Amino acid sequence: MKQNITLSIDKELLKKGKIMAAHLDTSISKMLSDILASTVQQNDQYEAAKRGALRTLEQGFHLGGRINWTRDSLYDR
């Protein structure tokens, strides 16, 4: 479902945007919609990657080895 919105854009920017859209054989509306969709998709991917990284950090990493010392032996003087 699509919905119309109203934007306030500088006249010179709009003029250049219309020229750019014409060169791309599209409309300003389609250009802005594509840019917004791309930005939202990038943000969603970033958030998913961040959640995955945080989950991995919470689980921790097993780096091998064993602790075969005690606190007392480390500070034995």
DSSP 8-class letter at 26: S
- Answer yes or no: is 20 within a domain: yes
What predicted TM-score, i.e. pTM, was given to this entire model?
Answer: 0.70
- Answer yes or no: is 74 within a domain: no
Give the range of the structural domain holding residue 52, as residue numbers without chain letter: 11-58
Write phi, then psi, for 35 (nearest 5 degrees): -65, -45
- Answer yes or no: is 36 within a domain: yes
Condensed to tens digits (0 to 9), the pLDDT of residues 52-73 reads 999 999 998 888 888 888 888 8
6-10, 15-19, 32-36, 63-67 — which is least confidently predicted? 63-67
- Answer yes or no: is 31 within a domain: yes
- Answer yes or no: is 54 within a domain: yes
Predicted confidence at residue 77, as pLDDT, reads: 62
* Structural domains of the chain, count: 1
Instruction: Please report which helix (H) or strand (E) contains residue 64, including its range.
Output: none
Predicted confidence at residue 66, as pLDDT, reads: 84
- Answer yes or no: is 50 within a domain: yes
- Answer yes or no: is 29 within a domain: yes
- Answer yes or no: is 30 within a domain: yes
